[in-house]
Every structure is written in C-alpha cells, then in structure tokens.
Amino acid sequence: MKKIWQVFWHVFFWVSMIAFFVFITHSNTKISVGGLIVIFVVYGLINIGLFYVNFLLFIPWYLNQKKYLRYNITILIFMLVLGFIKYGVALIFKDYILIRNKGNLHEVTSFGHYYISAFFTSLVFVFLSTVLKFTLDWFLNERIQRDLENQRLSAELAFLKSQINPHFLFNSLNSIYSLAYQRSETTPDAILKLSEIMRYMLYECNDNRVDLSKELLYLENYIGLQKIRYGNKAFVDFNVNGIINNQQIVPLLLISFIENAFKHGVANDPATPIHIKMDVEPHHLYFKMENKKHRFNKDSGGGIGLNNVKRRLDLLYPGRYQLKIDDGEEVYTSELSLDL
C-alpha cells in the first residue's frame, strides 16, 4: 500500500509540474494544442526518464561509490545523446516544435539553438534529481543514525535497569539473612515484603513510565522492609505533599537514594531520623532526602546505585532535572528537581 501511494504522489507531482510549464509556455508563445500534446507526452516522458535514470542508476552506481569522473563522463554523454534524440523527435513534429508562426512569417529553430536549449533542459532535470537524491539520502542517514542511537540508548537503559534488581536484591537478602541469623520473628514478614517489592519490580516496571502512586507504594514497602530489619527501631520521616494521581515517573528512579540512606546513614537514632520529603506539582516533582552519616559504614563495592541514577536521568530526562548532592562531614543530603 505504501508503494502505491509513493507511485501516486510521483505521478501527481510530474503531471502537475508539466502542466504548469505547459501553461506558462502556452501563455507566452501561443503553442498549438498539438504542440502542447507533444511537449506534455513525449518531452515530458523523456525528461522524466532522464530524471529517474540519474536518480536510480547513475548516482548509486557512480556518485555514491565516489567515482566522480566516471559519473561526469557518463551523464554528459547521456545528455548529449539525449539531445540528438530530442531533436529527432522535434523533426518528426517540426510543425509543432521547430516552426514558430509570427504573423505571416514562419521562423524555423536552428539545430544549434534547439540543441543547446534541449541540453540545458536536460541539465535542469539532472540537477533536480541529484539534489533530491542527496536530500533523501541525508534524511535516510539521519533517520538511521537516530534509530541506531535510540537502540544504543535502549540497550544502555536495559543494562542500567538490569543492574538495579541484583543490586537491590543483594542488599535485601543481606537484611533478611541478618534477621534469619538472629532467629527474628519478623523474618516471614520481611520475606513477604520482599516478595511484594519483587512483584512490582518484575511485573510493574516493564514500561518506560509508571504511576507515581505505585512508585511511592514501592518506596513505602522498601522502608517497611528496612524497619523490620531494624526491629522496628528505624526512624524515617517520610512526607509526601501534593496530588500524586495522574502523574508518572520512570520506575526505580528514587530507590537508590533511600537505599544509600539506610546503608550509609544512621537510621536507629530517633534524634536524627532519615528525612524524606517529596513535593508533587502537576508535571513536576521535588525530592529531598537527608540522613546522618554513619562514620564506620563504608561501601567497599562502590556506589553503583547513585551512578546508575545519574546516568538514567541523563538519558531519560535530559535538560529536565537538577540533582544536587551535599556530602557533608556528618550529614548527607540529596535533592532532585524533576520535570515529569
């Protein structure tokens, strides 16, 4: 169906162009109807044929292969030969093409004059086909480059997202292992929380965007899991302001900030709870997290989480976010302003 439409638009374009030029010519020189038919059918087909021979054959064979000299020689010989063919057609229809009536006088167009005119007409069609070919090739290359870039970004995002699950699962299993080792009665609840979290990560996060309400529920489940780990002695001040309905966000974007707060911060001191604040406006989110740093809790494995977040923000929210990290001596603060 697409090919049919392409053919249709090509035919429509050429019929319109030739009709336009015939109208202009007829208005200026008063060519007879027979002359118009010859120009419209015969010369139109010859020039259009030249256009597509150059467009479909000569440019791909020579110009695209950087055989510039061969192309110039080939197209020049082709136009010269075509000039003789056009003149032969003009001799057949000389009463319409070569003879011009001016009152009682009949003026015959000379071979030289006609041939030069026919040659430059051919040159115009060669020029148009060359410009069109290079323009289409440029747009095609641009589209290919965009597709390749999108594929590269998609692959990178998939890789970054694949890092989140093992990273989170590793930390959560460590927490549950600690509970099981202590024979804590909260171990089953922790496993249940983890299963709910993993269900969200496996089944809800396959889209590029998720409802903000679901993402917040996921964060609350994670915080609940950590509270179980701390024997309900983890102190978190989690405040959400604004309307979160009908808002969407990239999944698993904020969890790394909270993970780091529990991993590197002091969570069991009621005097210095982990502060998490989220202000939601239409199409905008402000997230701030602040926690007291634990001096002896260092991550020897490197900061996979926050590096992951920064890279995902660069890819998914280019120019639409501001991230500020303040790594003080005693307090760690992260602020994220994001256009949803």
Cα dist. 212→165, 169, 217, 283, 335 in Å? Answer: 19, 22, 9, 11, 18
Rounded to 10 deg, the angle between the 255-264 and 111-181 helix axes is 40
Residue 121 and residue 236 share a domain: no
pLDDT at 302: 40
Inside any domain, residue 269: yes
In single-letter form, the type of residue at position 96 comes to Y
Q: What is the pLDDT of residues 135-144, one digit of tens each?
A: 888 888 888 7
Q: Which amino acid is at 1?
A: M
Q: Which domain holds residue 207?
A: 184-339
Q: Is residue 166 part of a domain?
A: no
Instruction: Tell me, yes or no, whether 165 lies in a domain.
Output: no
Residues 125 and 49 in one domain: yes
> What is d(CA 121, CA 177) in angstroms, rounded to the nearest whole number?
84
Give pLDDT, residue 287.
93
Structural domain total, the chain: 2
Residue-by-residue pLDDT tens, the chain, 340 positions: 667 777 777 777 777 776 676 666 555 555 566 666 677 777 778 888 898 899 889 998 888 888 889 999 999 999 999 989 888 888 887 777 777 665 555 677 788 888 888 888 889 889 989 998 888 888 888 887 776 666 666 665 566 565 555 666 776 777 788 778 777 777 888 888 888 887 887 777 777 788 898 889 888 888 888 887 777 778 888 999 988 888 898 888 888 888 888 877 787 787 888 899 999 998 899 999 898 887 665 544 345 567 778 888 888 888 899 999 888 888 889 999 999 8
* Amino acid in position 232: N
Residues 49 and 106 reside in one and the same domain:
yes
Phi, psi of 258 (to 5 degrees): -70, -40
**DSSP line for 223-270:** HHHHHHHTTS---EEEEEEE--TT-EE-TTSSHHHHHHHHHHB--S-T
Nearest to 336 by CA among 258, 274, 228, 233: 258
Residue 40 token pair: 């419209």
The answer to whether residue 19 is domain-embedded is: yes
Which H or E run includes 295? none
Which amino acid, one-letter code, is at 185? E
Are residues 139 and 207 located together in one domain of the fold? no
Q: Give domain status of residue 162, yes or no.
A: no
One domain for residues 213 and 127: no
Residue 167 lies inside a defined structural domain of this protein: no
Note whether 243 and 138 are same-domain residues.
Answer: no
